[in-house]
């Protein structure tokens, strides 16, 4: 997939690990302009981790780009750890990182679960948010989880059949319970195949057109266990969101500008949630990409994301 429209590949000017509670250690990095306007990248999943390509949505001459791996994800330790791994924990980790890096306010950039976490953090600390660029909106509501587990078979019956048939027939009435039991088993011979099946299902449904690269990225062993185990853990617990969900607390964000980018044919996070979020957020602008699915790296989505970030240069 050609990606020449992204900014050039760069390396961080600083990396580190931040000790958290309950044995967690969080990886973080900074790249771009050390004196630039701060922008925080929030990866998806939960549990997917961040990568080098995510730096490339930002002009490195202008932005101070901060990326971190959430608890249990990517380079953070322990990999796929579920102890004290909740949305309030992640919100507290973000605030700890902000204080550690001596940042006053920053732009939030997140897609899918990253949009969920960005909203949760912004609602907890609105005074610390310059603005937000959010993609593939996921509000963590029960119907959205149900759609992922069962509804996707209407559009991707083949991928869903492979996902469901991994489990014995008598467990397919509750896919989440069947997978969670295996994903939390300490034996790699049990949890690794389950993680692969879960992650390949998600990767297969994430783009408008079939993408071998997307499926292969999701299927990597380390990526798969972090994504599948943590995602199932969050699904089991209603994403650890406040009573009433995120939309019930949007009054806290009305003065914060936001760019919402949504693929029209996003099957992982259907567009309805983006429309509902935009309708509840006076300071938002919604851009529907007409020929894209869920992935941030599909051409129309990445172009829209880069344009949105460029518009955020003027935020003060």
Question: For 243-257, what is each residue's pLDDT tens digit?
Answer: 899 999 999 999 999
Asked which of 177, 203, 238 is the last residue of a domain, the reply is 238
Residues 136 and 258 in one domain: yes
Is the pTM here over 0.85, yes or no?
A: yes
Paired sense of beta strands 25-32 and 37-42, if any: unpaired
Distance CA(230)–CA(227), nearest Å, equals 6
The β-bridge partners of 289 are: 263
**pLDDT tens digits, 62-95:** 999 999 999 999 999 999 999 999 999 999 999 9
What is residue 1's predicted lDDT score, i.e. its pLDDT?
39
CATH number of the domain at 91, please.
3.40.50.1820
Residue 163: burial class (beta carbons within 10 Å; 0-12, 13-18, 19+): buried
174 pLDDT more than 70: yes
Catalytically active residues, by annotation: 112, 266, 294
> What's the chain's average pLDDT?
95
Residues 59 and 109 in one domain: yes
Residues 33 and 174 in one domain: no
**% of the chain surpassing 70 pLDDT:** 95
Give the structural domain span for 197.
143-238
Band (pLDDT 50/70/90 cuts) for residue 4 is low
312 pLDDT more than 50: yes
Contact 136, 262 (CB under 8 A): yes
Q: Which two tokens stand for residue 48?
A: 């997917």
Distance CA(254)–CA(232), nearest Å, equals 32
**pLDDT tens digits, 99-114:** 999 999 999 999 999 9
Residues 258 and 122 in one domain: yes
Bond before 78 cis per omega within 30 degrees? yes
């Amino acid at each position: 997939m050609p990606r020449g429209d992204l900014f050039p590949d760069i390396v961080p000017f600083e990396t580190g690990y931040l000790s958290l509670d309950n044995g967690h250690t969080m990886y973080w990095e900074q790249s771009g302009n050390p004196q630039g306007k701060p922008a925080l990248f929030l990866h998806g999943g939960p549990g997917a981790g961040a990568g080098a390509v995510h730096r490339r949505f930002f002009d490195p001459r202008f932005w101070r780009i901060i990326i971190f791996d959430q608890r249990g994800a990517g380079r953070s330790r322990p990999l796929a750890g579920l102890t004290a791994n909740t949305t309030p924990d992640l919100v507290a980790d973000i605030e700890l990182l902000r204080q550690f890096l001596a940042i006053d306010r920053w732009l939030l950039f997140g897609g899918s679960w990253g949009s969920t976490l960005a909203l949760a953090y912004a609602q907890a600390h609105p005074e610390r948010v310059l603005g937000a660029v959010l993609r593939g909106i996921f509000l963590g509501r029960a119907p959205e989880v149900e759609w992922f587990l069962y509804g996707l078979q209407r559009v991707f019956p083949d991928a869903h059949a492979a996902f469901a048939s991994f489990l014995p027939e008598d467990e397919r009435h509750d896919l989440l319970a069947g997978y969670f039991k295996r994903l939390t088993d300490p034996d790699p011979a049990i949890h690794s195949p389950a993680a692969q099946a879960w992650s390949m299902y998600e990767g297969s449904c994430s783009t408008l057109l079939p993408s071998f690269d997307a499926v292969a990225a999701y299927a990597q062993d380390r990526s798969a266990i972090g994504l599948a185990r943590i995602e199932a853990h969050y699904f089991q617990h209603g994403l650890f969101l406040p009573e009433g969900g995120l939309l019930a607390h949007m009054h806290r964000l009305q003065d914060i500008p936001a760019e919402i980018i949504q693929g029209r044919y996003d099957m992982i996070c259907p567009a309805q949630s983006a429309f509902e979020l935009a309708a509840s957020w006076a300071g938002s602008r919604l851009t529907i990409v007409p020929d894209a699915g869920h992935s941030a790296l599909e051409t129309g989505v990445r172009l829209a994301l880069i344009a949105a970030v460029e518009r955020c240069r003027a935020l003060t």
